[in-house]
Amino acid sequence: MILVDATDQILGRMASIVAKRLLKGEQVTIVNAEKAIITGDPTRVKEKFKTKFDLARVVNPRRGPFFPRTPDRIVSRAIRGMLPWSKPRGKEAFRRLRVYRGVPEELKGQSFTSFPEASAKRLGTRKFVRVGEVSVSLGIKQEAVF
């Protein structure tokens, strides 16, 4: 089992690495999902997520498409997008993934890994937004995120 700390990890790069590991058959647990970052201008990133989130209300709110609002689900949805979700192999891989906001009690005191190729230190720009901030802009209560 791989324990990953998402603090200051670029969401897309981390998601691609985790998706590959899941397809290899490994169990992956991600903590601190609200501290992962999405690169780009913060206002444009938030607008993009808001547009996706509002799509469900345009046609028929009961039929979808449904997009997540909480940080742990945003991270897991990004990883799901990199898996062959419609095939049994992808669904089995997705079942091996666990994503948490913060660090749960049963995982405290354990050592977590982070991927150097997905580190925010590699960014040449300061334009980024945390997944927790995106969640707050989508309407989740701030106390539930941080």
| Number of structural domains found in the chain | 1
Q: Hey, what are 146's tokens?
A: 């941080």
For residue 68, give the DSSP letter: -
Read off the CATH number of the domain in which 33 is found: 3.90.1180.10
Which residue range is the domain that position 22 belongs to?
A: 2-145
Alpha-carbon distance of 2 to 30, in angstroms, equals: 8
The whole-model pTM stands at 0.91
Within 10 angstroms of residue 77's Cβ, the number of other Cβ atoms is: 15
pLDDT tens digits for range 113-135: 999 999 999 888 789 999 999 99
User: What are residue 109's phi and psi, to 5 degrees?
Assistant: 90, -5
Please give the chain's pLDDT, 146 residues, in tens: 999 999 999 999 999 999 999 999 999 999 999 999 999 999 999 999 998 888 766 777 787 778 889 999 999 999 999 999 999 999 999 999 999 999 999 999 999 999 999 999 988 878 999 999 999 999 887 766 65
Taking CA atoms, 54 is separated from 2, 14, 58, 99, 138, in Å, by 35, 26, 7, 24, 10
